[in-house]
C-alpha cells in the first residue's frame, strides 16, 4: 500500500469515528431537551393549575408534531449538510427550552411545544445519513446500534440532571432546573456536533465508502440499474421515486409500525397492569419497568455485532428469531402470577423488542440508496409515531376497556406475528435485488 493510500485510509477512519461520536452525543442531547418536558409536568400542573386533560394535550402536541416533523425534516436532510442540519435543529431546541423556562401562559406553552416537536425532527435523519455515508455495509450493524444507544443515554441522564439541578437551586427555581440547565448541556452538544460530525466523504476530499471498502449494498445496486439520475432530482422527487414507490421501503414501515405497537403496548401499560392486575407493589413495578428499558442496551449492541458477523445480506432473520421469543414471553407475562417470572418475561421482551427496531436502519441502508436514506427515515418515523404508537396505546386501551386485559395482549400477539411476516417480506426483497443485479452482470 502506497503512503498516499495509507494516509487517505487513516484520515477516512479518523473522520468516520469522529462522525459517529458526533451523532451519538448530538442525538443524546436531542433527548435531553425533549424528555425534560415530562419531568416538568408535575410542576406545571401545580403552578399553572393545569388539568390532566390539558397536560395530556401538551404531550399529544409534542408526539404528533414530532412524528410529522420526522417525516418532513428527514426528507429535507437528504439534500442538506448533515452536520449543520443536525446542529441547527438542536440549537433551535435549546432556544425553545430557554423560552419555556420563562413562559407562564398555557396557550404559549402549546405553541412552544409544537415548535419543539418540529425541531426535534431534525435529529434522526442526519444521524442515519451520516452512518450510511461513512460506514460500509459490513460495519453498519455495529455503527447503527451504537448510535441507537444514544437515545437511552439521553433519556437516562435527564432525570438525574434535572433532579440534581432542582435539588441544588430549590423547587422555587424549578424552571431553571427543568428547562435552562438541560438547555445549557444541549448547547454544549451543538458545539460538539459542529466539531466532530463531518460532511459526506466526497465533500471532505475522500473516496466514497463503497470505493474505500469495495462493498456495495443492494440499494446502491438497484439505483445503478435505474435510468433516472438522483442528482437531477429535488428532495421530494427523490422521496417519491426511491422511497414512496419502493416496496422494500414499505416493508420497513410495516416492521416499524408493529414494533412500536408491541413496544408501546408493553411499556405504556406495565405500571397499571402490574399494579392493578398482578398485585405488584410500586417498588416491584418500578424494577420491572426499569429492566424493560435498560435491558435493551446490551442486547442491541450484541445484535449489531451478530448482524455484521453472521447475517450479512440477511439482516431481518435475526429480528424474526427475536420476535418468536417475544411471542412466547408475552404469553408468559400475561399468564404468570409470580413476581419473579413476570419481571423476567418483561425484561426479556424489553431486551429483544428493540432489536427489530435497531435493525430497521441497517436494513434501510441495505435496500435504500444512500442519497435517499433521510426520506426513508422520514416515512418510517411518520408512520411509526402516528400509527404504531396509537395501536399500542389507544387501541390497546380500547380493547382492554371492552374485552379485558387478556384480549389486549392477544392484540399485541397479532402485532408480533404481523411484524414477523413483514421481516420476511423485507428479507425476500433484498434477495430479489441481489438476484436482479447478478442477472445483469
Check whether residue 256 and residue 319 sit in a common domain: yes
- CB crowding 57-69: b at 16 or more within 10 Å, else e: bbeebbeebbbbb
> What single string gives the DSSP state of each residue in 210-259?
HHHHT---HHHHHHHT-SS-GGGS-HHHHIIIIIIT-HHHHHHHHHHHHH
End-to-end CA distance of the chain: 29
Domain assignment of residue 232, yes or no? no
Q: What is the pLDDT of residue 87?
A: 97
Q: Give dist(CA 345, CA 407) in Å, integer.
A: 18
Task: Give the burial string for 263-285 (b: 16+ CB within 10 Å, else e).
Answer: bbbbbbbbeebbeeebebeeebb
The answer to whether position 209 is within a domain reads no
Q: Nine-digit cell at 404? A: 379485558
Among 150, 179, 200, which residue terminates a domain?
Answer: 200
Residue ending a domain, among 200, 217, 248, is 200
Residues 151 and 247 in one domain: no
User: What interhelical angle do 150-169 and 140-148 show, nearest 10?
Assistant: 20
Closest listed residue to residue 220, CA positions, set 230, 232, 212: 230
The closest of 426, 132, 388 to 250, measured between CA atoms, is 426
74: left (phi over 0), alpha (psi -120 to 50) or beta: alpha
Quick one: CA torsion of 119, 121, 125, 131, rounded to 10 degrees? 80
* Residues 160 and 249 reside in one and the same domain: no
Q: Is residue 307 located within the same domain as residue 369? A: yes
For residue 230, being part of any structural domain is answered with: no
Average pLDDT, 10 consecutive residues per value, the chain (441 residues) = 82 94 95 85 78 72 82 83 95 96 87 93 91 87 86 78 88 90 96 94 88 70 56 74 86 92 80 77 72 77 85 86 95 87 87 87 83 79 77 81 88 95 92 74 59
Whether 388 is covered by a domain: the verdict is yes
Indicate the pTM of the whole model.
0.78
- Judge if 323 and 401 occupy the same domain: yes
Q: Are residues 63 and 187 in the same domain?
A: yes
> Do 186 and 265 fall within a single domain?
no
Whether 120 maps to a domain, the answer reads yes
- Does residue 157 share a domain with residue 27? yes
- Domain boundary, last residue among 146, 180, 200: 200
In a domain, 233, yes or no: no
Rg (CA), the chain: 22
Give the separation between CA 326 and CA 329, rounded to whole angstroms. Answer: 5
Question: What confidence score (pLDDT) does residue 437 get?
Answer: 65
184 and 86 in a common domain: yes
Q: Are residues 179 and 278 located together in one domain of the fold?
A: no
What the block records as the C-alpha cell of 201 is 466523504
Asked if the structure places residue 210 within a domain, the reply is: no
Collect all residues with Cβ–Cβ distance below 8 Å to 342 and sequence separation of at least 6.
274, 278, 280, 288, 333, 336
Torsion angles phi and psi, residue 199, rounded to 5: -70, -175
Its domain, for residue 166, covers 3-200
Residue ranges with strand state E in 275-396: none
Provide the number of structural domains found in the chain. Answer: 2
Whether residues 328 and 431 fall in one domain: yes
Residue-level pLDDT at 435 = 78
Give a yes or no: residue 303 inside a domain: yes
Tell me: do 257 and 159 sit in the same domain. no
pLDDT for 14: 95
- Domain containing residue 308: CATH number: 1.20.1250.20
Amino acid at each position: 500500500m502506497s503512503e498516499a493510500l495509507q494516509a487517505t485510509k487513516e484520515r477516512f477512519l479518523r473522520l468516520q469515528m469522529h462522525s459517529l461520536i458526533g451523532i451519538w452525543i448530538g442525538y443524546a442531547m436531542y433527548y435531553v431537551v425533549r424528555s425534560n418536558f415530562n419531568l416538568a409536568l408535575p410542576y406545571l400542573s401545580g403552578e399553572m393549575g393545569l388539568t390532566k386533560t390539558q397536560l395530556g394535550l401538551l404531550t399529544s402536541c409534542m408526539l404528533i408534531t414530532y412524528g410529522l416533523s420526522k417525516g418532513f425534516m428527514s426528507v429535507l436532510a437528504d439534500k442538506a449538510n448533515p452536520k449543520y442540519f443536525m446542529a441547527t435543529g438542536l440549537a433551535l431546541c435549546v432556544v425553545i427550552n430557554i423560552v419555556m423556562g420563562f413562559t407562564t401562559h398555557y396557550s404559549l406553552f402549546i405553541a412552544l411545544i409544537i415548535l419543539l416537536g418540529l425541531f426535534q425532527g431534525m435529529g434522526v435523519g442526519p444521524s442515519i445519513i451520516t452512518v450510511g455515508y461513512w460506514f460500509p455495509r459490513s460495519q453498519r450493524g455495529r455503527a447503527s446500534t451504537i448510535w441507537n444507544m444514544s437515545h437511552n443515554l439521553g433519556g437516562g441522564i435527564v432525570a438525574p440532571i434535572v433532579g440534581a439541578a432542582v435539588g441544588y437551586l430549590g423547587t422555587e427555581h424549578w424552571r431553571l432546573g427543568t428547562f435552562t440547565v438541560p438547555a445549557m448541556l444541549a448547547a454544549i452538544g451543538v458545539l460538539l456536533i459542529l466539531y466532530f460530525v463531518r460532511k459526506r466523504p466526497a465533500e471532505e476530499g475522500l473516496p466514497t465508502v463503497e470505493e474505500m471498502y469495495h462493498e456495495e449494498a443492494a440499494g446502491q445496486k438497484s439505483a445503478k440499474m435505474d435510468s433516472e439520475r438522483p442528482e437531477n432530482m429535488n428532495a421530494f422527487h427523490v422521496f417519491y421515486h426511491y422511497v414512496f414507490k419502493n416496496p422494500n421501503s414499505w416493508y420497513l414501515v410495516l416492521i416499524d409500525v408493529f414494533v412500536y405497537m408491541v413496544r408501546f403496548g408493553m411499556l405504556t401499560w406495565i405500571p397499571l397492569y402490574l399494579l392493578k392486575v398482578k398485585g405488584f407493589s410500586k417498588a416491584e413495578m418500578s424494577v420491572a419497568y426499569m429492566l424493560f428499558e435498560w435491558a435493551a442496551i446490551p442486547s442491541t449492541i450484541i445484535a449489531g455485532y451478530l448482524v455484521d458477523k453472521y447475517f450479512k445480506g440477511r439482516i431481518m432473520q435475526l429480528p424474526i428469531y427475536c420476535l418468536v421469543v417475544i411471542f412466547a414471553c408475552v404469553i408468559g407475562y400475561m399468564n404468570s402470577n409470580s413476581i419473579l417470572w413476570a419481571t423476567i418475561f418483561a425484561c426479556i421482551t424489553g431486551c429483544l423488542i428493540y432489536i427489530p427496531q435497531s435493525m430497521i436502519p441497517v436494513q434501510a441502508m441495505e435496500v435504500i440508496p444512500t442519497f435517499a436514506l433521510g426520506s426513508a427515515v422520514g416515512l418510517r418515523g411518520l408512520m411509526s409515531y402516528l400509527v404504531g404508537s396509537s395501536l399500542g396505546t389507544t387501541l390497546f386501551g380500547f380493547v382492554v376497556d371492552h374485552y379485558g386485559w387478556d384480549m389486549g395482549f392477544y392484540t399485541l400477539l397479532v402485532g408480533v406475528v404481523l411484524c414477523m411476516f413483514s421481516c420476511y417480506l423485507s428479507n425476500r426483497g433484498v434477495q430479489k435485488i441481489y438476484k436482479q443485479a447478478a442477472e445483469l452482470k
